C-alpha cells in the first residue's frame, strides 16, 4: 500500500514549473501537488487546451514524476471571504480581482474553482485541495458580541456559494479536499462538523488533513483522523513548533513575522516540530488512507533547498506500511 510522497508546489511558485519539477525529480519525490498559481498551472487553460495539458504531463514525465493532486487555495479563499481587501489583491491575478468589487471577486473566484475541477479531470486527477474562505472568521474573537444568527448566516453563505461549485466537481468525477485551517469556514474540530452539516455531507467535499494547523490550536490531529476518516481525501505533511512556555510568547502570534523568536509557534520543516508523526502514520494505516503524502514545505528559518529533501527523507523513513500478518498469529498451534 506504499503511498506516493509528493511535493506541494505552492511555496515554490516563484520558480518556473520546469525548475520545480527538475528539483523534485532529482530529490526523489514520486510526484507533485501542483499549485494553480505562478506559472505552474493555469486552470482555465488546462480546462480547454489539450496541448497545454500535454505540456504539463510531458514536463512531469521527463522528471520521473506524476501529478496526484492540484491545488487552488488562493482563489478558493476569495469565494466566501468578507471583507475582500488589499490582502486578496496581493494573492489574486488580475482576471479574478477585476475592479476589486467584493462580490464580483467572489463570483469570479467561484467560476475559477469550477474550471479547476474540469482541469483536474483532464489531467487525470481525482482530488483538488484548497481553501473556502469564510464570511465569519472575522468574528472569531466574539467581541463585539456575535449573535447566533450571524454565525448561522455564515454557514448558509458557505453552502450557497460552494454547492454550485461542488455540482461541477460531481459532474466531472473530482473531489474537493478542504484544508482545515484558521481563516476558513472549517478551522477546528467543531467547525469542521458544522461545515459538513451545512452542505449535507455531500461526498464531493472532504478534507485535506494538515496537522500543523491543529497542533498550535491544541487539537488532537490523530483523533481527528479517526473521527473524520471517511472524509480524509488528502494529506499534507507539514509541522509546527510551539514556543509557548516563557510566559511572553502568545498563541495568536502577536502580529510577528514567521521565524521571529518572540512568536508562540512557527511552521517548521516536516519532522522537526511537535506533530506526533508516528501516531499519525499508524492512524492513516488504520483508516486505510492510500492517497499521497504531500510535503508542504514552510519554514521561514530554514533554506528550502535543504528542508524539502530532508522532509522527503523523513516521510519515507516514518510512513511505513502496516503489517501483513498479526504478530500473534505465530502463536497458533495450527500455524
pLDDT in tens, 237-281: 999 999 998 899 999 999 999 999 999 999 999 999 999 999 999
pLDDT in tens, 209-235: 999 999 999 999 999 999 999 999 999
pLDDT in tens, 55-108: 999 999 999 999 999 999 999 999 999 999 999 999 999 999 999 999 999 999
Residue among 4, 8, 66 at smallest CA distance from 208 = 8
pTM: 0.96
Helices (H) and strands (E) in the chain, counts: 13, 10
Query: What pLDDT does 323 receive?
Result: 77
Compute the average pLDDT of residues 178-198.
98
Strand duo 31-35 + 127-130: pairing: unpaired
- Candidate CATH numbers 3.30.2320.50, 3.20.20.150, 3.90.1150.10, 2.160.10.10; the one for domain 5-331: 3.20.20.150
- Residue spans of the domains in the chain: they are 5-331
Gap between the Cα atoms of 133 and 109, Å rounded: 11
Radius of gyration of the chain, Cα coordinates, nearest whole angstrom: 20
3-class DSSP assignment, residue 6: strand
pLDDT in tens, 285-318: 999 999 999 999 999 999 999 999 999 999 999 9
Amino acid at each position: 500500500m506504499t503511498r506516493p510522497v509528493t511535493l506541494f508546489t505552492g511555496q515554490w511558485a516563484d520558480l518556473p514549473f520546469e525548475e520545480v519539477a527538475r528539483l523534485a525529480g532529482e530529490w526523489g519525490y514520486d510526484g507533485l501537488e501542483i499549485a494553480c498559481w505562478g506559472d505552474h498551472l493555469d486552470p482555465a487553460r488546462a480546462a480547454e487546451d489539450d496541448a497545454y495539458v500535454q505540456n504539463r504531463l510531458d514536463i512531469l514525465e521527463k522528471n520521473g514524476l506524476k501529478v496526484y493532486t492540484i491545488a487552488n487555495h488562493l482563489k478558493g479563499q476569495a469565494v466566501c471571504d468578507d471583507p475582500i481587501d488589499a490582502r486578496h489583491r496581493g494573492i489574486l491575478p488580475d482576471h479574478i480581482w477585476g475592479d476589486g468589487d467584493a462580490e464580483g471577486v467572489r463570483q469570479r473566484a467561484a467560476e475559477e474553482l469550477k474550471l479547476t475541477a474540469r482541469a483536474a479531470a483532464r489531467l487525470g486527477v481525482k482530488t483538488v485541495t484548497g481553501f473556502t474562505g469564510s464570511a465569519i472568521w472575522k468574528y472569531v474573537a466574539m467581541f463585539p458580541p456575535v449573535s447566533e444568527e450571524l454565525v448561522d448566516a455564515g454557514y448558509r453563505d458557505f453552502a450557497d456559494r460552494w454547492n454550485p461549485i461542488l455540482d461541477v466537481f460531481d459532474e466531472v468525477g473530482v473531489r474537493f479536499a478542504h484544508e482545515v485551517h484558521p481563516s476558513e469556514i472549517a478551522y477546528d474540530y467543531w467547525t469542521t462538523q458544522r461545515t459538513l452539516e451545512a452542505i449535507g455531507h455531500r461526498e464531493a467535499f472532504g478534507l485535506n488533513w494538515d496537522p500543523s494547523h491543529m497542533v498550535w490550536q491544541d487539537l488532537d490531529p490523530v483523533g481527528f483522523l479517526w473521527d473524520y476518516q471517511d472524509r480524509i481525501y488528502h494529506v499534507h505533511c507539514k509541522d509546527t513548533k510551539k514556543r509557548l512556555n516563557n510566559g511572553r510568547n502568545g498563541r495568536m502570534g502577536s502580529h510577528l513575522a514567521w521565524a521571529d523568536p518572540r512568536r508562540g509557534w512557527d511552521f517548521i520543516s516536516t519532522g522537526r516540530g511537535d506533530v506526533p508523526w508516528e501516531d499519525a502514520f499508524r492512524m492513516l494505516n488504520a483508516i486505510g488512507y492510500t492517497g499521497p503524502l504531500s510535503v508542504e514545505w514552510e519554514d521561514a528559518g530554514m533554506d528550502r533547498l535543504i528542508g524539502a529533501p530532508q522532509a522527503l527523507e523523513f516521510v519515507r523513513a516514518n510512513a511505513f506500511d502496516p503489517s501483513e500478518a498479526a504478530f500473534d498469529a505465530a502463536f497458533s498451534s495450527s500455524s
